[in-house]
Amino acid sequence: MKTFTLPGTDLVVPEVVLGLMRIADKTDDEIRTLVGTAADAGIDFVDLADVYGPALHECEARYGGAMKLTSSAREKVTIQTKAGIVREPLSFDFSYEHLLESVDGSLKALQTDYIDILLLHRPDALVEPEEVARAFDDLQASGKVRHFGVSNQKPSQMELLRRHVTQPIVANQVQLSVTHANLFTQGTAINMNGLDQSVDRDNGTVDYCRLHDIALQAWSPFQAGFFDGPFLGSDAYPELNAVIDRLAGQYGVPAEAVATAWILRHPARWQVVLGTTTPERVTAAAAGSDITLTRYEWYELYRAAGHILP
């Protein structure tokens, strides 16, 4: 597993992250097996959120209760969680009070004294960046949160935030897979009249993050679209799967590794966030960090997924 120092931090992190959105119904033994399998593959970074699970903080509590990390074990894992989504009624809240309340709930659920990275969970249209800055300052000063980031934010939203907060924004978690690649597609078809792909749905997010040393984290790396089901093995993507299977055989890795490697081949600083709870698939995807697709192979997969190169 390749690692890198997360920009703006002293954290050495793996290219692949274990997402724990779906562990609410898992037993403690199943959670420990999943986390242990990931650790064996070099994944010592877990991703959570306060709203993951049927109840507030439920997946955080399932992880904390199953792992019961000692102080020494805690120092060896990077824990990232998120705050800002309110489910009842569905809304967003980046207010000072909500962020502090959410972090306190996460710390209790995780059974830890600190969170390594806190992400603002999606954008809040009513964000008051001064409130966020005050929350970040107090959370950092108290030792409850060490680093901060965002999710699914466009450049202007990050720029507004960065104008007020004193801490660096270290990560932006966005949806990306070879089939859900709007972060790239407009850039390869810019100014092509009448071509739907040329419509800007990216807003320059990837370039902005590269310019400002913000790591990008890809969620749903195997999903065809917005929770449309996986593209791997899907009859809806025969050409793409034929290329994936050929490259998997060529490199001697599972198909999941090729899909992972496609994201990691991009020169921005990416992490791939896995959502699977199947240990074998974690091992399969992690293998993607150990191969480097050629430029031609990257574009071959891109074309096979239906993206146009004019």
> Which residues are known catalytic residues?
52
Judged on CB neighbours under 10 Å (0-12, 13-18, 19+), 24 is middle
Query: How many whole angstroms separate alpha carbon 86 and alpha carbon 91?
Result: 5
| Alpha-helical regions (H) of the chain | 28-40, 58-67, 71-75, 96-110, 129-141, 155-162, 182-188, 205-211, 238-251, 255-264, 279-286, 295-304
What's the DSSP call for residue 127? -
Tokens 């040329």 found at: 198
Query: HSE on the CB side for 96, CA within 13 Å?
Result: 10
Residues contacting residue 79 through CB under 8 Å, at least 6 positions apart: 46, 48, 110, 112, 115, 116, 117
